[in-house]
Amino acid sequence: MSGSSAGPAGDAGDDPTADAGGNPTGDVGDDQTDDRRGTRAVRARLDRVEDPELARSIVDLDYIDTIGIDGDRVEVQFTLPTAWCSPAFAWMMATDARDEVEALDWVREARIELCDHMHGEEITTGVNARDTFGETFPDADGGVAEVRAAIADKARVSTQREAIETLLDAGIDPEQVVDLDRSDVDLAGEAAHVSLDGLSVVVDAAPLDDYLNRATESGHVTDSDDTLFLTPEGEPIDADRLDVVQKRSRLATVNMGGQGAVCDALHRARHGPDGPGS
């Protein structure tokens, strides 16, 4: 294992120089005192990578083992809760991590290593060689894109509930809620303006913002005249079925939370409560 210990999220931030001694190359020097170039910056990019199944950051989930910096090259090692975690999901996390780290302007190359996994070697080799999932796993019968879309759709369904709840709480009728198009909602800072036949209702923007991010990512609600809220199958909602759709949305959230608890317990069982870096 090379590089500095990742530790729990945020602890490196208290002392940006703390990781320098752990770096075997030792040539990062002053870079470590610069938030923009140190492990803290790398961690901030990695924080944007989610475990697709849980829709939670891989930094929060403590999957990161080590971050090593050698000039303009960054090496990240990560471990998942089990050796059996879906290779498609592992692939997504590895490629997303690579792309996020390389988005830093001082990084020329990011090398990602998936540790202790049934397909760790193939995924590590494939991701760093910039191969596709299909090239890495020739016996796979399709691409990773559809898995990504299916997973993104879970997040769409899950976040829709609170967005709708916010509108219902503001006094908008179920009939009006299901009739809304994308263009009827205007996000402006902390407020969302919802147009209803010439009237405008102002609500908290956060739940709608969350929902729209997820919906767009899933490929739904992309055009201004698209219906704003949809069933899990992607169809417009009947007003008298809104309650059932809301309950299915709750169910999607419970599922993610339940699976999150399983993954977390397995992760702790495998690596101890402080994660793989300890």
Partner 1 sequence: MYEKDGEEIFVIDGHVHLWDARQENIVHEGGEQFLQCFYDYHTGFTPEDKQWDIDTYRHYGADKMTEDLFGNAAADMAIFQPTYLSDFYDEGFNTTEQNAELAEEYPERFVLNGSFDPRDGEEGLRYLEHLKEEYDIPGVKLYTAEWRGESKGWRLDSDDAFEFLEKCADLGIENINAHKGPTIRPLNRDAFDVKDVDDAASSFPELNFIVNHVGLPRLDDFCWIAAQEPNVYGGLAVASAMSTHRERKFGEIMGELLFWLGEDRILFGSDYALWNPDWLVDQVMNAELTDEQKDEYGVELDVDTMKKIMGENAAELYDIDIEEKKRQFRDDEITERFDLGAHYGGDAGAAAD
Q: Which residues bind partner 1 (CB under 8 A)?
A: 53, 81-88, 118-119, 133, 137, 139-144, 146-147, 150, 154, 157, 232, 247-248, 250-252, 254-255, 257-259, 261-262, 265-266, 268-270
* Distance in Å, CB of 132 to partner 1, minimum: 11
Q: Torsion angle of alpha carbons 20, 22, 23, 24, nearest 10°?
A: 130
Q: Choose between 111 and 250: whose C-beta lies nearer to partner 1.
A: 250
Q: Choose between 187 and 265: whose C-beta lies nearer to partner 1.
A: 265
Q: Choose between 120 and 207: whose C-beta lies nearer to partner 1.
A: 120
* Distance in Å, CB of 107 to partner 1, minimum: 29
* Distance in Å, CB of 155 to partner 1, minimum: 12
* Distance in Å, CB of 182 to partner 1, minimum: 25
Alpha-carbon Rg for the chain, nearest whole angstrom, is 21
Q: Choose between 93 and 194: whose C-beta lies nearer to partner 1.
A: 93
* Distance in Å, CB of 149 to partner 1, minimum: 10
Rounded to whole angstroms, how far apart are CA atoms 91 and 108? 21
* Distance in Å, CB of 113 to partner 1, minimum: 19
Q: Choose between 22 and 207: whose C-beta lies nearer to partner 1.
A: 207
Q: Choose between 116 and 179: whose C-beta lies nearer to partner 1.
A: 116
Q: Choose between 73 and 247: whose C-beta lies nearer to partner 1.
A: 247
* 246 contacts 181 by C-beta, under 8 angstroms: no
Q: 132 to each of 37, 135, 136, 273, how far by Cα in Å?
A: 29, 5, 6, 34
* Distance in Å, CB of 45 to partner 1, minimum: 27
